[in-house]
A and B are shown apart, each in its own frame.
Chain A
């Protein structure tokens, strides 16, 4: 067992997977000589050389397009998008090429690539360094979308992503990089794609979240316990395909669902899950499905009070949960 931070888990996994499989290579802005803006790829250039750790020009379309081409001819690219905010130029390659490759070739071609996307707010990053846009990819069939919340999952999901045969959008939350540390087993383990984790069992309501919001939800659940409200906390981990079974079983048990999402509310992951809960287990609901989300403004504001106003936090979750229980 070794105390490992979220970002160390990612760096270690990249080392291990590149050792394990020579088809794995990295490409991204400042990832080589500089070691990545958050140092996620520190030391990899020295170990694996410039052919496998490629410093790209500032061109997300090139990073993504080059990766799609390499993946199609048998490589396993792990491109890095330095900030989710800048992923839009890569969208054409990811949505039109990567997501559809297996489908449009009838399975003759695959696109095994793992796009590491650094995302998320609560870091004082302002409009263009705080965005979280997983819902754009969440709604695209053909992609796998994951967002680990713990070092264990960061490692286990990255392994599963790199070892798989399909394009994975791997969102890593920059607020978690050095905040969360965890003892990780030395042995090789993976976390299955498509499986949520019930992190805390409870009987009164289900709080569903992922990424940074999982930690805010857990914090809220501990406060709720003191008020005599027993919250079950589920970390979604994989957003697409999401774990319908675990969530429906939990909602059937508690009859109340509180869905927490960092990004703005409209059209988000939780809108889809909310609709599905209503379709699948309407008969078990005892209160309206409630969401706590980022607010519908174009991006996270820079001013700290405004950033806090935008982002969900434990207090907001506790307030919503209490109202939900009083319904």
Chain B
């Protein structure tokens, strides 16, 4: 019997996705829960597990097609009664809302370990050339050659214990088991001495980042402008209140919420900064959903604080703290990373004094925040030491002119240099 495969719900407010690639070819046998297709949503890509055991008959939508939730994308042939997966249920057994996504697919189940898809995902399989060379170079039996092909093994890497160093079936199985152990505690895989390079396939979230960056960098004509901000007053203000705020509200306030507010203030005069551009229309946003980049172990993610124009500095600080914790725990929901209108990235926390950030497409500007450094500056003809922060603002030169961007940045800095003029009314 034939069954249609439909795009399952991919998270709140997600209405469509793009097919990145089919993981099961037409005619291929498929087990329940094996990944069928990779679909990319806004920033997370999801491998859709097979709801049935059977054979992939036809792909109805090729790679790179945009598909809506619920769209029929493939036909599978299922023998007998269809075995259904639980992967599509939107309410988990504990009664909580459950969204299939990165967290589920990133951690392979025990039975998934060892499959082709898994090895591809883990990036530890040999390529065809290496497999064939290994088979030619090593004395091996039919079952060993079969296992080498099935499990993507370069037999030259397997220690042979048979007569004259022959690789036996047991040797290969030991190698596979050892490799699985490594899989489970990745990424400390040790390459043999014969390897002169380490090949890391760019997949998953990293792949999406790569694609987004390429698109942004080569679609948007970037220009970055720099300007110094004298942080004396704000540093003094923060120093005075930081402990008290923490004691009362449980959040150790950073400068980031102040930058958010400064952006909003400056954008009142230069509204085009807070916008998206699709090549035809500039959509100037009336709300400020500010993304802030969070560096994780092996990737980057940009949670969004929504409607900052309606929130106090304290509220923004608390939300940033919460989103940052979720990001580090890999618990962000897809809604947490969507709908940004402007982005702030802080390379200063790692020590940078300048950087030229890439705009988060389709936004039109990004603010780079750098280290506050005590520097000698001239004030009233005297050299004094002041805490200086060098801001970098990258902007989309198709829609934002240089003068506009420079003035926006200057306006923002003026606010930050005179916090007392607006802080009282806000906090």
A residues with a Cβ closer than 8 A to B are 255, 282-287, 326-327
- Of B141, B146, B168, most buried by chain A (CB within 10 Å of CB) is B141
Q: Does B376 contact A (CB under 8 A)?
A: no
Contact at B146–A327, with CB atoms within 8 Å? no
B169 within 8 A of A: yes
Min CB–CB distance B312 → chain A (angstroms):
69
Q: List 27 A-B contacts (CB under 8 A).
A: A255-B141, A255-B143, A255-B169, A282-B142, A283-B142, A283-B143, A283-B146, A284-B142, A284-B143, A284-B146, A285-B141, A285-B142, A285-B143, A286-B141, A286-B142, A286-B143, A286-B144, A286-B168, A286-B169, A287-B141, A287-B168, A326-B162, A326-B163, A327-B162, A327-B163, A327-B166, A327-B168
Chain B residues with CB under 8 A of A326: 162-163
Residues of B within 8 A of A255 (CB): 141, 143, 169
Which chain B residue has the least Cβ–Cβ distance from A285? Answer: B142
Complex CA distance for A108 and B144, rounded to whole angstroms: 51
In the A-B complex, the 8 residue pairs with the closest CB atoms: A286-B169, A286-B141, A286-B143, A283-B146, A255-B143, A285-B142, A284-B143, A255-B169
Please measure, in the bound complex, the distance between the C-alpha atom of A327 and the C-alpha atom of B146, giving whole angstroms. 18
Please name 10 further chain A to chain B contacts, defined as beta carbons within 8 Å, in addition to the given A287-B168, A327-B168, sorted by A numbering: A282-B142, A285-B142, A285-B143, A286-B142, A286-B143, A286-B144, A286-B168, A287-B141, A327-B162, A327-B166
Chain B residues touching A, majority SS:
helix
Instruction: Determine the chain B residues whose CB is within 8 A of the CB of A327 once the complex forms.
Output: 162-163, 166, 168
Residue of A nearest to B145 (CB): A283
Interface of A is mostly: loop
A284 contacts which chain B residues (CB < 8 A)? 142-143, 146
Q: Which of B244-274 contact A (CB under 8 A)?
A: none
Chain B, residues 136-165, CB within 8 Å of chain A (1/0): the string is: 000001111010000000000000001100
* Bound-complex Cα distance A283 to B163 (A): 20
Separation of A255 and B143 alpha carbons in the complex (Å): 7
CA distance A283 to B142 in the complex (A): 5
Q: Which residues of A contact B141 (CB under 8 A)?
A: 255, 285-287
| B96 → chain A closest CB, angstroms | 44
| Interface residue total, chain B, C-beta cutoff 8 A | 10
B143, B162, B166 interface centre (most CB from chain A within 10 Å): B143
Chain A residue nearest to B161 (CB atoms) is A326
Q: In the bound complex, how far is the Cα of B173 from the Cα of A255, in angstroms?
A: 13
Give the docked Cα–Cα distance between A255 and B162 (Å): 14
Residues from chain A with a CB closer than 8 A to the CB of B166 are: 327
Q: Which residues of B contact A282 (CB under 8 A)?
A: 142
Closest chain A CB from B228 CB (angstroms) = 71
- Chain A residues with Cβ below 8 Å from B144 are 286
* C-alpha spacing A287/B169, complex, angstroms: 9
How far, in Å, is A227 (CB) from chain B's closest CB? 15
In the complex, what residues of A have CB within 8 A of residue B163's CB?
Answer: 326-327
Q: Which residue of B lies closest to A288 (CB)?
A: B141
* Residues of B180-200 whose CB lies within 8 A of A: none
A327 to B166, CA, bound (A): 8
Q: Name, among A255, A284, A285, A326, the residue most crowded by chain B CB atoms within 10 Å (CB to CB).
A: A255
Q: How far is the CA of A327 from the CA of B162 in the complex (A)?
A: 6
Taking CB atoms, residues of chain B closer than 8 Å to A286 are 141-144, 168-169
Question: What's the Cα separation between A285 and B140 when bound, in Å?
Answer: 10
Chain B residue at smallest Cβ distance from A323: B163
Over the window 359-382 of chain B, the binary record of Cβ atoms lying under 8 Å from chain A Cβ atoms (1 yes, 0 no) is 000000000000000000000000
How many angstroms between the C-alpha atoms of A286 and B147 in the bound complex? 11
The CA of A284 and the CA of B169, in the complex, are separated in Å by 9
Distance (Å) between the CB of B72 and the closest chain A CB? 37
Query: In the complex, A287 Cα to B143 Cα: how many Å?
Result: 9
Which chain A residue lies CB-closest to B139? A327
Task: Give the Cβ gap from A282 to chain B, nearest Cβ, in Å.
Answer: 5
In the complex, what's the smallest C-beta–C-beta distance from A326 to chain B, in angstroms?
6
A315 to B162, CA, bound (A): 22
How many Å lie between the Cα of A284 and that of B143 in the bound state?
Answer: 4
Alpha-carbon separation in the docked complex, A79 to B100 (Å)? 73
Contact with A along B392-425 (1 / 0, CB 8 A): 0000000000000000000000000000000000
Q: In the complex, what's the smallest C-beta–C-beta distance from B149 to chain A, in angstroms?
A: 10
Residues of A within 8 A of B142 (CB): 282-286
CA separation between A327 and B141, bound complex, in Å?
A: 10
A287 surroundings in chain B (CB, below 8 A): 141, 168
* A285 partner residues in chain B, CB cutoff 8 A: 141-143
B169 nearest in chain A by CB position: A286
Interface residues of B in 45-89 (CB under 8 A from A): none
A226 CA to B142 CA, complexed, in Å: 29
Indicate the member of A285, A286, A287, A327 with the most B CB atoms within 10 Å: A286
Residue of A nearest to B172 (CB): A286
Q: In the complex, what residue of chain A is closest to B140 when comparing beta carbons?
A: A286
Complex-state Cα separation, A208 to B143, whole angstroms: 20
| Interchain CA distance A284-B147 in the complex, whole Å | 9
Q: Which of B109-142 contact A (CB under 8 A)?
A: 141-142
Set of chain A residues within 8 Å of B146, measured between Cβ atoms: 283-284
Collect the chain A residues with CB atoms within 8 Å of residue B169's CB: 255, 286
A283 to B141, CA, bound (A): 8
Shortest beta-carbon distance from A325 to chain B in Å = 9
Minimum C-beta distance from B132 to chain A (A): 16
Which residue of chain B lies nearest to A254 when distances are taken between CB atoms in the complex? B169
Q: What residue of chain A has the Cβ atom nearest to residue B167's Cβ?
A: A286
B313 to chain A, nearest CB (A): 68
CA distance A255 to B166 in the complex (A): 15
- Complex alpha-carbon distance, A55 and B143, angstroms: 56
Q: Which residues on the A side are within 8 Å of B162 (C-beta)?
A: 326-327
Report A200 CB to chain B, min CB distance, Å: 20
- Docked CA distance A287–B139 (Å): 11
Closest chain-A Cβ to B50's Cβ sits at a distance in Å of 26
Considering the chains assembled together, what is the distance between the CA atoms of A219 and B188 in angstroms? 48
B residues in contact with A283, CB < 8 Å: 142-143, 146
Complex CA distance for A33 and B281, rounded to whole angstroms: 114
Rounded to whole angstroms, the CA-CA distance of A255 and B168 in the bound complex is 10
| Contact digits for B330-354, partner A, Cβ 8 Å, 1 yes 0 no | 0000000000000000000000000
| Bound-complex Cα distance A74 to B9 (A) | 73
> B104 to nearest A CB, angstroms?
34
CB distance from A221 to the nearest CB of B (A): 19
Give min CB distance, B164 to chain A, whole Å: 10
